[in-house]
Amino acid sequence: MINYKHLLAFVTVVRKKSFTIAAKELFMTQPAISWQIKNLEGEIDLQLIERKERGTKLTEAGKQFYVYAEKIIKAHEQLIEEMKQLKCMEKGKLIVGASTVPGEYILPAYMSSFKDAYPATDVMVTTTSSDEVVESLISEDIHIGVVGMKVDDSRIESKPFKKDKVIMIVKDGHPLLRLDKVCIKDVLAYPIVVREKGSASRRVLEDKMETKGLKLKNFAYFTELSGNRSAITAVKNSNSVAFVSSLVAGDSLALGCVKAVEVDDFDLSRNIYLIHNKLKTLSPLSETFLNFMLKQKD
């Protein structure tokens, strides 16, 4: 009969791509791991893993088996975690996925306050693009997400948390600074630096441009860079423009490294959202965290 130990050994070997590393991970000997896999394969009468000199390789049966085995392991881990939380609300592990702006400029202070209120909790924040945060919620790799856009997905609940504004920045002395009023058509004459696809600030910009019948290709040219800081650096050293969060640009504006330019009839105000997977029941710790954060909202 297939048991949890069989599945755990199999999933760990696949994740680590090594019997030796999996054995260390599970505090077992390598022969014991091999025995678990051999018994598992014997139970279903199929080979799941091919042993190679340089690691392991899944058979076709192994690939299909892994999809279900991983779901069972994740469900088991979540069950144990939620039972721990029910036993003692102030204990437990919470993984928060955040897009760049909230992850770097908003959450750190709130994480500190939350830890002060619930010192026994283990809270981890991972920072990535908004699209990847949503994917991680759906795959249940994180518990709560914080992103700079409302998510258009029936599986995701979005709750407004903080206000932010995406502003246009240029270097000091840029020709646009000499205009009394700047329209978006004036801006099109210059190159633009944009964030990578999946970024919420880029989505906000593209959505607004679409309402004006415009696309990025209407600019002189555009350069795609990963991260807000690289966009600011590019602007400081060229005649490019960039649209970035006012939170990101704050220090550079204060130092005079870049200047903000208001573009007429081109407001890019937005909300930062707390999001979670509606198809999954919130754990007590996740619900406590959501309520704590919403009390801090603007």
- In this model, does residue 287 exceed pLDDT 70? yes
- In this model, does residue 282 exceed pLDDT 70? yes
pLDDT in tens, 137-195: 999 899 999 999 889 999 999 999 999 999 999 999 999 999 999 999 999 999 999 98
Residue keyed to tokens 């009023």: 181
| pLDDT recorded at residue 91 | 62
CB-CB contact of 287 with 280 (8 Å): no
Domains and CATH numbers, the chain: 4-86 (1.10.10.10), 89-161+271-294 (3.40.190.10), 164-268 (3.40.190.290)
Structure tokens at 168: 């246009």
| pLDDT recorded at residue 127 | 92
- In this model, does residue 296 exceed pLDDT 90? no
CB-CB contact of 110 with 155 (8 Å): no
| pLDDT recorded at residue 297 | 64
How many residues appear in the chain? 298
C-alpha distances in angstroms, 107 versus 11, 101, 114, 229?
Answer: 33, 9, 10, 18
Give the CA angle between residues 73, 28, 85 to the nearest 5°: 40
**Cβ-based neighbour number of residue 63 at 10 Å:** 12
Q: Averaging pLDDT over each range in 39-53, 83-97, 270-284, which range is the top one?
A: 270-284
| pLDDT recorded at residue 20 | 87
- In this model, does residue 93 exceed pLDDT 60? yes
Please report the beta strands in the chain, taking only residues with DSSP state E, as ranges in sequence order. Answer: 49-52, 55-58, 92-98, 121-127, 144-147, 156-171, 192-195, 222-225, 241-245, 258-261, 269-277
| pLDDT recorded at residue 239 | 92
pLDDT in tens, 239-256: 999 999 999 899 999 999
- Type of residue numbered 261: V
Mean pLDDT confidence for 217-228:
86
pLDDT in tens, 97-149: 999 899 999 999 898 899 888 888 888 999 998 999 999 999 989 999 999 98
pLDDT in tens, 51-91: 877 778 889 998 999 999 999 998 888 888 777 766 655 56
| pLDDT recorded at residue 90 | 55
pLDDT in tens, 11-28: 998 888 888 898 888 899
